[in-house]
Structures are given as structure tokens and as C-alpha cells.
Amino acid sequence: MRLPRSIAGWTMAVFGILAIIMGATGLLRPDAMLTGLGFEVVPDAERAAGDYTRVFIMASSMASFNMGIYYLVSVYTEWRAFYLFTVVFRLLTFTVFTLLVVSGEAPERFFGVAAWEGIGALATGIGLWLDRRHRVFSNP
């Protein structure tokens, strides 16, 4: 494995590894993920027919796991355009998730997911700026 070669690369590596861990957790223990996000966990015996909450959490967790892999591949190749792309879309995700909490569609603890996205976007954005300022790489 190659270590990141830039500040932005380090932010992507850290968030990539965390996304893989969270994805694996949700795949293996979806109820633990639901609890951590602040959602009520309904026992299997009380679930309504057609309740696919756990399946949805597992599918989202697989997406998180995959995204973590994408992040690590981008670090390996120092794909800076992808870094910038994630900044923009993580800020969009932060906005949408925050609006879900503010509108009452999601519990207040779900704001932690929004914060995760916002902090990740800011960290990578600052890393890109610092790298450019210190001429670590000339292209974003």
C-alpha cells in the first residue's frame, strides 16, 4: 500500500477507511447502525410485513463500503479531480441531510451523518487549498 502524497490525499484516506468500517458495520450489524443513527429498532417479531428498514440500511452500508474503496483508489492514484468532486457533493449531501433533520423527517441524531459529510468536505477542501498553496501538486 502506498501512503497518501498530499494533505488532501490524507483526508481522503482517513474518510475512505472510516467509510469502509461503517459500511462493514452496517452490513454485519444493521440494528447497531440504526441505533447509532438515532432510529428506533423494531424487533423482528413486531416488524410489519414489507418492512425493509434493515435491508435498506444494509444496502446503504454496501454503498458506504464501496465509496470507501473508491476513496482509497483515488488516494492511490492521487486523482485530485475526484477529490474536488467529493468536496462539492459532500457539501450537497450535508445540506440535504441537514434539511431532513430540520424538517423533522429524520431524528436530531441524524445530524451526525450530515456533520460527517460537511466535515469531510471541509477537510478535503482545505487540504486541496493547502496543497495548491504549497505547490504539492499543480493541478486540482
Least trusted range by pLDDT, from 13-22, 48-57, 73-82, 110-119:
48-57
pTM: 0.87
Cell of 79: 486523482
Q: How far is CA 47 from CA 42, 50, 54, 101, 116, in A?
A: 6, 8, 10, 24, 30
Each residue of 92-136: pLDDT tens digit?
A: 999 999 999 999 999 898 899 999 999 999 999 999 999 999 876
Q: Which one is predicted more confidently, 66 or 40?
A: 66
pLDDT at 62: 97
Give the pLDDT of residue 136.
67
3-state secondary structure 32-73: HHHHHCCCCCCCHHHCCCCCCHHHHHHHHHHHHHHHHHHHHH
Q: What pLDDT is attached to residue 30?
A: 94
pLDDT at 140 over 80: no
**Element holding 121 (H helix, E strand):** helix 111-133
Per-residue pLDDT at 137 exceeds 80: no
Mean pLDDT of the 8-32 span: 96
- Closest-CA residue to 126 (of 11, 13, 22): 11
Mean of pLDDT over the chain: 92
The alpha-helical segments, DSSP class H, found in 78-110 are 80-102
Is residue 75 within 8 A of residue 13, CB to CB? The reply is: yes
What pLDDT is attached to residue 138?
52
- The predicted model gives 41-56 an average pLDDT of 89
